[in-house]
Amino acid sequence: MGAQWKAKHKQDAANAKGRIFTKLAKEIAVAARNGADPDMNAKLRSAIETAKKASMPKETLERAIKKGAGLLDGPANYETVVYEGFAPHQVPVIVECLTDNKNRSAMSMRILFRKGQLATSGAVSWDFKHLGQIEATPTSPDADAELAAIEAGAQDFEEGDDGDMVFLTELADLDLVSKALPEFGFSVNTARLVYRANNPVSLTDEAALAEVEAFLDAIDGDDDVQHVYAGIA
């Protein structure tokens, strides 16, 4: 995997859907700090598209935008905090939190990492790439991912899930490539900055893999956690 951790069984659970909406609403609110118009705010536009793909109710989406823009209940006081460490069996992990209480998040991470190892800043991230990632669906059978990557300015591409393609970009090029891809036959589903492990750990023992999955599941379930990136093959 080496990219964002995705718990295999969570997508179908009703309570998981609620957690997904909560996390998406936070991202929308933070993005909306820089303006409530998605046409003028690339980060907000991407967050809205992701929320729509997840079938977030329109009222929830609009409320998140207003809250982030300071038009409802005061501004959204979320801060981004990144934690680094190791899951069991020395699997490197990067955790991105959006929180309104850094002390609470720090305490949660210390507890959650007891079965692994919480590390200092830079101890893990040096072995990850920080880059833009775009998940896109071909809109015609003639869509050529290699041509689209070259012409749109992506650095690389690979096959994703269910026939989708994943385009990788430099950090600063994420929005430009996202806007260009539709011209070459690809509809953008999500566009965001991610971490990818350079040297993911390969686990062949099923018990060890289950232990790592349980550890990552627990972190992903924390209310302040937005994204979990694990260096596991």
Q: Which of 232, 218, 229 is nearest to 108 (CA)?
A: 218
Contacts of 210 (CB under 8 A, 6+ apart): none
Is residue 34 in some structural domain? yes
Tell me the three state secondary structure of residue 198.
coil
Confidence at residue 5, expressed as pLDDT on a 0 to 100 scale? 55
Q: How far is CA 49 from CA 53, 58, 191, in A?
A: 6, 12, 9
Sign of CA dihedral 35, 40, 42, 45: positive
CATH number of the domain enclosing 45: 1.10.10.200
CA gap 31, 133 in Å, rounded: 17
**Does 31 fall in a domain?**
yes
Residue 36 is assigned to a structural domain of this protein: yes
Predicted TM-score (pTM) of the model is 0.85
Structure confidence at residue 19 (pLDDT): 83
In a domain, 191, yes or no: no
Q: What is the pLDDT of residue 72?
A: 78
Q: Is 39 part of any domain?
A: yes
Residue 230: inside a domain, yes or no? no
Task: Count the domains in the chain.
Answer: 1
pLDDT tens, per residue, the chain with 233 residues: 445 656 554 444 556 678 889 999 999 999 998 889 998 888 898 899 889 988 999 999 999 999 898 887 766 789 999 999 999 999 999 999 999 999 999 999 999 999 999 999 999 999 999 999 999 999 999 999 999 999 999 999 999 988 899 999 999 999 899 999 999 999 998 889 999 999 999 999 999 999 999 999 999 999 999 999 999 98
On the CB side of 153, how many CA atoms lie within 13 Å of its CA? 12
The reported pLDDT for the residue numbered 75 is: 67
Q: Please give the pLDDT value at position 1.
A: 43
- Within a domain: 142: no
pLDDT at 217: 94
Q: Which domain holds residue 26?
A: 14-68
